[in-house]
Amino acid sequence: MGVLADTWAWLATASHWTGPDGVWTRLGEHLYLTAVCLVISCALALPAGIVLGHLGRGGALAVNISNAGRAVPTFAVLVLLLMSPLGTHGQWPTVVALVLFAVPPLLTNAWTGMREVDRDAVLAARGAGMSGGQLLRQVELPLAAPMVMTGVRSAAVQVVATATLAALPGGGGLGRIITAGFARYDTPQVVAGAVLVAALALLVEGVLALAQRSADPLRRTRPTPVPSLPDNQTGR
Partner 1 sequence: MAVVTATTAGREAAAPPGDCLAANEWICGEYLRTRSQELVDATLQHVGITAASVLLGLVLAVPLALLARRGRRAAGTVLGLTTALYTVPSLAMFSLLLPLFGLSAAVVVAGLTLYSLTVLVRNVLAGLEAVPEEVREAARGMGYGPAGMLLKVELPLALPAVTAGLRITAVSAVSLTTVGAIVGHGGLGNLIYSGMKSVFRAEVLTASVICVLLAVLADLALLGLQRLLTPWTRPARPPRARRVPRRDAAAPPAKEAV
- Residue 230's nearest CA partner among 163, 158, 143 is 158
Which of 79, 122, 145, 215 contacts partner 1 by CB under 8 A?
79
Those residues whose C-beta lies under 8 Å from the C-beta of residue 149, and which sit 6 or more positions away, are 208, 211, 212, 215, 216
Those residues whose C-beta lies under 8 Å from the C-beta of residue 140, and which sit 6 or more positions away, are 53, 54, 114, 117, 122
Least distance from partner 1 to the Cβ atom of residue 130, Å: 36
Least distance from partner 1 to the Cβ atom of residue 126, Å: 32
Which of 117, 167, 171, 172 contacts partner 1 by CB under 8 A?
167
CB 92: neighbour CB atoms within 10 A? Answer: 13
- Residue 93's nearest CA partner among 179, 197, 174, 171 is 171
Which of 27, 205, 215, 216 contacts partner 1 by CB under 8 A?
205
Which of 53, 149, 165, 171 contacts partner 1 by CB under 8 A?
165
| Sites of contact with partner 1 (CB under 8 A) | 1, 3, 67, 70-77, 79-80, 82-83, 157, 160-161, 164-165, 167-169, 175, 178-179, 181-182, 187, 190-191, 193-195, 197-198, 201-202, 205, 226-227, 229-231, 233-236
